[in-house]
Amino acid sequence: MREIVPSADIANSPSGVWPLEFAQKDLSSFSFQHGGETYSLDRLIADTDTDGLAILHRGKVICEHYANGMTSNTPHILMSVSKSLTSIVAGILIDRGKLDPEQTVVSIIPELKNSVYSDATVRHVLDMRVGLDFDEDYLATSGPIVEYRKSTNWNPLAPGERPSDLRSFLSGLKDRAGPDGGSLHYVSTNTDLLGWILERSTATRFADLLSNLLWQPMGAQLLRILRSTVSVHPAALAAYAPHFSTWRGSAN
């Protein structure tokens, strides 16, 4: 992915990396029941085609497994774990009084005044309770989810289509399925928007926010995030996009 979609490194503190301790355990006798069948750890790994696994117990690595060409130092996409990282950064800023969760989105990003986010608050975005009409169907072949993926370069453009960008896509979301603050509606665009909110509120790139507020203080290893491409906002970091980390980095 890093060869297709531009990325940014999240700087860590090389002298402050939290070294993991290792205490290898024999887990060959471990098993659990699921769907009426018994699974050993080896069967679970094989049946789920797991690329890598690192198990920690009381702060120590007790088991590691790598397959499909992966090693302990191979970066692997974290997918929606990235949402948790973005939300943690938001929580730190809220705790420090740098972000008000009750503030309206448009008071921070006026460009969204004509979008479905026009009346939403930061808390609505954080809680996934924005009333937008958006079906996150990853198998869809048309519709907003496909246009969304094209705006971040996850899907290729069709012949004759012009490139878009994430911020323009978010600004163009207008369809509503219900009121803000209603039922939980899991939509990745909300986390994309949250990253934009954090950048705009602090006048700081998300990569730097994540590095300074979380990655360096926690003693983590190097992390990398994908950036939004073909953007009319060259400095816009779609940080909120998937992150890459090694298994040991994730264990940190």
- Among candidates 91, 92, 53, 59, which has minimal Cα distance to 74? 53
Confirm whether 82 is a catalytic residue.
no
Q: Which of 31, 80, 84, 183 is catalytic?
A: 80
Report the largest interatomic distance among the alpha carbons of the chain, rounded to a whole angstrom.
Answer: 59
Rg of the chain taking only CA atoms, in angstroms: 20
* Sign of the CA dihedral with 34 first, then 35, 36, and 39 last: negative
Three-state SS for 106? Answer: helix
The Cα-based distances of 75 to 89, 151, 153, 211, 225 in angstroms read: 22, 24, 20, 17, 11
In one-letter notation, the amino acid at residue 66 is Y
Helix ranges (DSSP H) in the chain? 41-47, 81-95, 105-108, 122-126, 144-151, 166-171, 188-202, 206-210, 247-251
Distance, in Å, from the CA atom of 200 to the CA atom of 17, rounded to the nearest integer, reads 29
- Active site residue ranges: 80
